[in-house]
Amino acid sequence: MNRIQNFFLAALALIAFSSFSQTNTTDSLDLKIGQMIMVGIGDRVSVNVSDSLLADIRQNLVGGIILFEKNISPLDSRNTLKTMIKTMKDQSAIPLLVSIDEEGGKVHRLKPKYGFVDMPSAAYLGKLDNADSTLYYNRGLARELKSLGINFNYAPSVDLAINPENTVIVKRERSFSGSTETVTKHALICIKAHHEMGIKTILKHFPGHGSSTGDSHFGIVDVTDTWDFKELLPFYNIMKSGTCDAIMTAHIINRNWDTTYLPATLSSQMVNGVLRNLMGFRGVVFSDDMQMHAISKNYGFEKSLELAINAGVDILVYGNNVSKKDKPVSAGEVHAEIKKLVLQGKISPERINEAYRRIIQLKNKEWNGKGK
């Protein structure tokens, strides 16, 4: 593609973005809210033309989807997954974020048993502490993601391995190290490898989950007495490098920063106060999964949405990777609830516009072969 074609494509994208961001009709509110919603696709390993998920995508009720291992067919895994992703992408007027949790090690969906690439854990790479090895493995992973049509990875984890008894991060080998320098170094290499393939990444779990003594998948986690200020440093260092695409919040309480006892995902003092005002982050903030019990069992569906959006979270994640006793949540349900909160005046239209602008900027962002 020559430079003239690139110029016209860029101009068209700019015109499209301007028309989206400047309209104020009811339909544009629906579209903007839809871009704030990321959902899991249940147990699907394929989709057909009558699938309700495709209808949600066509109707702009959802801006992104997240895949899990259960969405990989045991038969002809690569082609089946690639076809399903392409079918979903083709239904979306605005480019769809197709995401996956691919940290490696124990958080590895695209396993070799399905014919995909091997990916060691962050702990292994951090202990090895060899830049070439980290780049090699992450390049292989990013190349795999690109070949499938996945454009967003929930990695790297930049949590520090502070508490050796931590069950959610440290014992699962999801942290590169307890050293700020080592975590920053290998996270930047991971990001570079993904950007070379045009894959966007996310830093998690803000403000740091590696010192916790509990798991927010199962309930409230309070890190007030265990958290260390240095847990912010990998986030800050990578933000300042200019390569940070997005940041994910953790469902953890830290009364040193928020005396109201709200977890970071629902805390304006944490997201707007610490992350945006103190640290200067201007990009997209994702929630961790809103169906994790720290949120779903303590704040309820409506209240947690209201608090999270007003706290400064731009994309709400409902992974639907739940047990049989927990009810899946559709994009339509989330969309209707957010719209109701806006119409009731509990969330301002300005806040929706702010989130929407950030999301469109993220979707329009491109990286060259050098990862910058």
Beta carbons within 10 angstroms of residue 351's beta carbon:
14
Q: Give the count of beta carbons closer than 10 Å to the beta carbon of residue 113.
A: 9
- Residue 242 makes CB contacts below 8 A (sequence gap 6+) with 372
335 is catalytic: no
> Which of 176, 159, 174, 287 has the alpha carbon at shortest distance from 235?
159
Q: Of 117, 135, 101, 146, which Cα lies nearest the Cα of 317?
A: 101
Q: Which of 51, 129, 217, 222 is catalytic?
A: 217
Q: How far apart are CA 108 and CA 113, in angstroms?
A: 11
SS3 state of residue 143: helix
Catalytic residue (one of 56, 101, 215, 288): 288
CA distance 338 to 124: 41
Nearest 5°: phi and psi at 134? Answer: -60, -40
Contact assessment for residue 361 and residue 354, using Cβ atoms and an 8 Å cutoff: no
217 among known catalytic residues: yes
As to burial, measured by CB atoms within 10 angstroms (0-12 exposed, 13-18 middle, 19+ buried), residue 294 is buried
Residue type, position 177, single letter: S
CA distance 184 to 161: 13
Instruction: Kindly give the interhelix angle for 3-22 and 349-364, rounded to the nearest 10 degrees.
Output: 170
Preceding peptide of 263 cis, ω within 30°: no
Decide if 50 contacts 83 (C-beta within 8 A): no
How many residues does the structure list for the chain?
A: 372
Catalytic sites, residue numbers? 217, 288
